[in-house]
Structure 1
């Protein structure tokens, strides 16, 4: 369905028929074909009306490409801060003073950071500068430690050998002493056995002699 706009006063609209085109005189119309022309169609010149036709959408509500809405920017105010009554010159002075303090603080921080970095770099350089000497000293200490450990190991082994020899010697002496005591004990026991045997023999002889004397 085609929408035909309402004609405004003073403007005539040309309508082309399928069979023939009839030109009309309009104040602002372009020159069209003559009445005796045998052309199938004529050029239509339409003029946009000044008023928006009824039922058409406004320009801002017509569909179009999506655009991200712009964020509202903060508008700088010239009013002083609440609770502080000062003029514009004083406010600018305070602002410059605050900016100077911030700059001074940043400079102090950067100086302190540079000083720390310089000290760290110097420590690293000193460490790497003394590294060969420290490595040599460390190697010498390790060598001395190995020598001391070997010496202590030898001394410990010597002490253990002496103690082992003393223990073996003491065990041998105790064994000899126990063997000597065992021999002495056997000799004493043998002598006691001989004495008991002799006493029994003498007692038997004494009884025999007593019996013989009684028979007489």
Structure 2
């Protein structure tokens, strides 16, 4: 039974191949008929050409030739994209911080550095980071970020004129707030304000300030407070 199935498969395969090669020969014959008037005379030539192509396909391996110019261009493109050995993006060592130059005080620098190290050790490294990985690169990056922020604040504080801040700016700020409160108190009524609780007084002031568009945006709603 198995031999019969094998024989049947071979017959089917032979039929398929015969039809395939007949079509190939017919196609070649049809093409050659454009150069000659007799189509039957072209059949032997077609058989010879198809057989020759079949032999060549077994003996010769065809490949697409790679253009050396394109390869060279792509390699040059990769050379341009390649990072140098000294590129800071390849280095795991954090970049040197310039925060000490902005503070310019060894005692303050030492105190800030010690304070930040204690915060990192207590709330980051010992609390959760050490259980994830022993790598200390991320805490070092956090430390540099915090010291840069502290140094920036320190540099801006140095530029403040304390005499003008204490004798002019703060006095004007407090005076403006008192004047704003008295104007709204007069609009509500001094006697009415005296009968209200602190929470009710805040609500009345809030509505009057909203009507005059002098209320701080953060006090309009919890959403505005979050945005501010």
Q: Which is richer in helix?
A: 2
TM norm structure 1:
0.23
Rg comparison, structure with higher value: 1
Highest RCO, 1 vs 2 (Cα 8 Å, sep ≥ 6): 2
Q: TM-score, normalised by structure 2?
A: 0.22
